[in-house]
Amino acid sequence: MTIPTTGLQVPADSPGEGETVGTTPEPRWRVLRTLLHDWAAAACLGYIGLVVLMAVFAPLIVKVSGWGPYEFDQSAIDPNMGGIPLGGWGGVSGEHWLGVEPGSGRDIFARIVYGARASMVIALSATLLTSVLGVVFGLLAGYFGGRTDMVISRVMEFLMAFPALIFMIAVLSAIPADNRQYLLVVVISVFGWPYLARIVRGQTMSLKQREFVEAAVASGASRRTVVFTEILPNLRSTIVVMVTLAVPGYIGTEAGLSFLGVGVVPPTPSWGQMIASSVTWYSVVPMYFLVPGTCLALLVLSFMVLGDRVRAAVDPSAKGGRS
């Protein structure tokens, strides 16, 4: 009795591989095929995939490069010049592919690779926890209504009105540095879930009035069955779009907190932490600032563009906003 989610229609006279005439592929395959035929979305997927591979295979990659993220190469810097890297472009060479950190001589490539792991683990973990909380509380508030909706809605409004960044800085500054990555995930998720929950709540309130839900209730289906087999599948497209758009925000939040000194604790590499360290060097060694800054900017941009393309693919009426 679940109605299918809307998607792009494929003409019956032009079946794709593995399809028969007169049939349309599953919505998720239609969306994926649309994204792969969009050069901007494909490029964003490629870069995101590259960063994910760096994060997963970081130990293997640094073995190939020859330098770990915590190793110091004093021969690559000039101690008489305050630790400025030897050679042009911040010490870029066959031995150090992206140069070295001024003052320490640590390999920037190795720290970029391990920094990708920190950024992606924190952002994806926060997104997963935020999505679970947002979907669960949004469904509860929208379907049950009454006092349940009132309590959850007041909590959402309080968290959305609260100065989240100030609270994050205060909490992370007061808590010991041990297990900081786990704390970052928890703190980010606490303030992130109401945005998804609010949208899920509104759509749930609309869907529960639909005929297919009323028919399920009339047939004797339990509330749990109605919520998870009738309403939740019809929220899939909305959840996918919101999750895709949430990831870049959490990547930026982690980088910003690390930049302010309350995020990932040194010597663990983080792109935001590297950008903070490069502030005093950018006029002398601009490569130290450009490399992590460019990697971070491209990752956030890729997720934002991909989220926009996913929204357009899921909801064809939104194509008017595409470039």
The structural domains of the chain, with segments of one domain joined by +, span: 37-321
Note the pLDDT tens digit of each residue in 168-190. 888 888 887 777 888 899 999 99
More confident site: 13 or 250: 250
| Cα distance between residue 48 and residue 46, in whole Å | 6
Query: What is the overall mean pLDDT for the chain?
Result: 84
Q: What is the mean pLDDT of residues 275-281?
A: 87
Q: Which of 130-139, 143-152, 261-270, 308-317 has the lowest mean pLDDT?
A: 308-317
| Cα distance between residue 315 and residue 302, in whole Å | 20
| Per-residue pLDDT, 14 | 41
| Cα distance between residue 7 and residue 29, in whole Å | 10
Q: Which CATH superfamily is domain 37-321 in?
A: MetI-like (1.10.3720.10)
| Cα distance between residue 101 and residue 273, in whole Å | 12
Q: What is the DSSP string of 8-71?
A: ----TTS--TT--TT----HHHHHHHHHHTSHHHHHHHHHHHHHHHHHHTHHHHHHHHT--TT-
| Number of H-type helices and E-type strands within the chain | 12, 2
Note the pLDDT tens digit of each residue in 53-95. 999 999 999 999 889 899 898 888 888 887 888 888 888 888 8
Work out the end-to-end distance of the chain between its first and last CA atoms, rounded to an integer number of angstroms: 37
| Cα distance between residue 144 and residue 152, in whole Å | 11
Q: What is the mean pLDDT of residues 185-202?
A: 93
Locate 265 and state its tokens.
């604790």
| Per-residue pLDDT, 26 | 57
Note the pLDDT tens digit of each residue in 133-168. 999 999 999 999 899 999 999 999 999 988 888 888
Q: With 50 as the cut, is the pLDDT of residue 1 above it?
A: no
| Per-residue pLDDT, 28 | 65
